[in-house]
Structure 1
Amino acid sequence: MTEKTKNLCAQIPESLHAKVRERQEESGQTLGQYMTELITKFYEQEGKPTMKENQRTVAFQVSTELFDQFKDYLKRKGIKQNAFFLDCIRQALEEAEQTANGESEPEAEQETEQAM
């Protein structure tokens, strides 16, 4: 049996409302499910540090046009932004390790050398 629910209504700025609805739609959840998850996570993290000890933040800026293209790509592919960048970083590190160990060079470098 599921827990009884109650309606929670609050006035928030339009810009915040738009952001919440956009992220809710991206999540594939109903608004009620999304808000329940957000509020639950907030209370679970209350009083805890926001950064884990063994994690660091990587941040950089890109043009608005590139950012919009990137967001569209992620949405079409159903990929989360952090998963995309973690995969890119892992791939680059693997390729660098292979090159350092004398293994075959990554395809992009081979193609560049062949074009010369």
Structure 2
Amino acid sequence: MENRKNLCAMIPEELHTRARTEQEQLALTLSQYVEMVLTEHFQKGGKAMESGTRTLAFQVPEELFGRVKKHLAQHPGLSQKEFVIGLITKALDEADAQAAAE
């Protein structure tokens, strides 16, 4: 088992409430939740935008968001970006194959 260290920080009350609400919705322990958030940040955060890419942003219902986060928590190493791109690519490939068959 890898070594673990404790992390403690004072944060604004509103941010604390939002984080704890999401953590509870995902049915994660606080340690699991903080690890998930930090892992996502370091996997995606701080990177300059790659040339030839575009941003695709949209809002989803809270329930769907929770389901996605729960799925990702069960699949360590799979980022939200990779997951969504995989779903979009699969749907477009299936649509292209159906259009070619017609």
Q: TM-score, normalised by structure 2?
A: 0.49
Structure having greater relative contact order (Cα 8 Å, sep ≥ 6): 2
